[in-house]
Amino acid sequence: MRKQLDESILFMVILMEFRERILTTMDHEEPDRVPVMSLLNEPSNVFQFLEKASVPYFNYLKKPLLKDLTRVLMNRNWLWNRDFFNVYKKVVDVSIQLGFDATWLLYLIFKLRRNKEFPLGMAWYDPWGRIWEVQVDKHGNPEPYYSRGYGNTEDRWREWSQKQLNFMKKFPGFAEAFHRKINDACGNRIFVVGFAGPGIFENSWQPIGFTEFIKFIYEKPRFVEEVIEFHAKLFMELVKSVCKAGNEIILIGDDLGHKTGPFLSPTLIDQYFGEYYRQVVDYIHKQGKKVIFHSCGKIYKLLDQFIEYGIDGILTLEPTADMDLARVRTQVGHKLVLIGNLDVSYLLVRGSQKEIRDAVKKAIKDAAPGGGFILAPAHNHSEVDATRLQWMVEAAHKFGQYPLQF
């Protein structure tokens, strides 16, 4: 009995540490040390860390006798959801073993369809009408690559949206169930940030195609407004479902920037999407939760808008898009929590331990004084190295102790 009691007390202490560390930081106060957040979401990272071989499901697509059977099985919602949870739980378990304080969740679902235009004779289609090339990494793990949108004309967009509306409406329920299962399995060992995504901007333009979407803004603005309103309503249902799963911080995601600046002018983004972002943020806040916005790219011009929308934190602050932490902190002060910034193009792929340590120290020096900074990779992909993630976490634990010694 005493042993059980001791373990219970220890569990409460561990829970308090990572939870309070994250929530204190989100309030722009200094916790005991700078928190570290995982963005792991690739099976290859997990199997690399565990030193186990992947189960090469998608290599079966290369075998004529098995490809159709694989397609039929993978298109079963129950099987997809079961396997997606099992793999993602391993992802979260690895994040815990690496010493992260928090992790994100990202629920996705695809359907395999025959398509002779692609190398394997098949392509992935998501609920909203994106077409993804099915690629397999060197370990046999699936890697989806966005190829184009199905709805590149007004008629094709309407056709897809009508035929797939029921599938789109099922997505929030699937996402909520996934979040609940991960929370139940792992939430006592790591802070789980719920992710409502893809977002309104990406769901509006990617199923159409960027060139066509821009043309429609000028040639068919009412159609564009219809598309955005359609996805904004669906997205709000997704946000409500993720909120119901119990996560205290909700991440909403829209890549609004590329390497040199925003995809659209700040004026157009606010004109077409601003009010919907305000509504989403307001809803999340009314549930007593914080909001983080995920956007890659060079987004200095959008930071003030994020503040005006009521967003609490920004992820990913991509260094290869010239997002400098010191400059961002100077621009926004403590009106936004800053999350991310560790390079995944070189540093966390093949950088030396010294390079990683120096980058961690610089990030902490530039953004962590006064709280409001969570160290994280700028993103994730299959070649991010687990050992280098461990070096990053170790450096954060060593140099991120408050009061900071800089």
Q: Which CATH number does the domain housing residue 27 bear?
A: 3.20.20.210
* Average of per-residue pLDDT across 150-166: 96
Residue 179's pLDDT is: 98
Between the alpha carbon of residue 66 and those of residues 58, 70, 73, 183, 236, the distances in Å are 10, 6, 11, 35, 39
Report, as an integer, the average pLDDT of 99-105: 97
Query: Which residue bears the tokens 């079966």?
Result: 60
Q: How far apart are CA 158 and CA 160, in angstroms?
A: 6
Question: How far, CA to CA in Å, does 61 sit from each of 117, 132, 140, 215?
Answer: 15, 15, 11, 37
Q: Per mean pLDDT, which range of 27-31, 127-131, 139-143, 238-242 is the poorest?
A: 139-143
Per-residue confidence (pLDDT) for residue 406, from 0 to 100:
76
| Residue 204 included in any domain | yes
Query: pLDDT digits over 331-360, tens only?
Result: 999 999 999 999 999 999 999 999 999 999
Which residue from 369, 307, 254, 313 is spatially nearest to 26, judged by alpha carbons? Answer: 313
- Does 7 have pLDDT greater than 70? no
Tokens, residue 2: 């005493």
Q: For the residues 158-171, what does the mean pLDDT come to?
A: 96
Q: pLDDT tier at 3 (50, 70, 90 boundaries)?
A: very low
- The answer to whether residue 308 is domain-embedded is yes
Instruction: State the average pLDDT over residues 229-258.
Output: 97
- In a domain, residue 350? The reply is yes
For position 54, what pLDDT does the model report?
64
Of the two residues 1 and 348, the one the predictor is more confident about is: 348
Confidence of residue 376 (pLDDT cuts 50, 70, 90): very high
The dihedral region occupied by 175, where left means phi > 0, alpha psi between -120 and 50, and beta the remainder, is alpha
Percentage of the chain with pLDDT > 70?
A: 94
CB neighbour list of residue 293: distance below 8 Å, 6 or more residues apart: 251, 252, 253, 254, 306, 311, 313, 314, 315
Number of domains within the chain: 1
User: Mapping DSSP to helix (H, G, I), strand (E, B) and coil, where does residue 125 land?
Assistant: strand
Domain contains 138: no
- In this prediction, what percent of the chain has a pLDDT beyond 90? 82
258 has pLDDT over 90: yes
Each residue's pLDDT tens digit, 135-144: 877 766 778 8
- Residue 157 lies inside a defined structural domain of this protein: yes
One-letter amino acid of 308: E
Is 77 inside any structural domain?
yes
Residue 61: band (very low, low, confident or very high) from pLDDT cuts 50, 70, 90: confident
Q: Is residue 136 part of a domain?
A: no
Note the pLDDT of residue 65. Answer: 83
User: What is the number of other CB atoms lying within 10 angstroms of the CB of residue 402?
Assistant: 16
Query: How far is Cα 391 from Cα 264, in angstroms, rounded to an integer?
Result: 37
Residue 318 lies inside a defined structural domain of this protein: yes
Rounded to a whole number of angstroms, the CA Rg of the chain reads: 21
Q: How does the average pLDDT of the chain come out, rounded? A: 92
Please state the separation of Cα 75 from the chain's center in Å. Answer: 23
Confidence check: pLDDT of 1 > 90: no
Q: Which tokens hold the place of 250?
A: 């909700």
The domain containing residue 388 runs over which residues?
Answer: 2-54+68-111+150-399
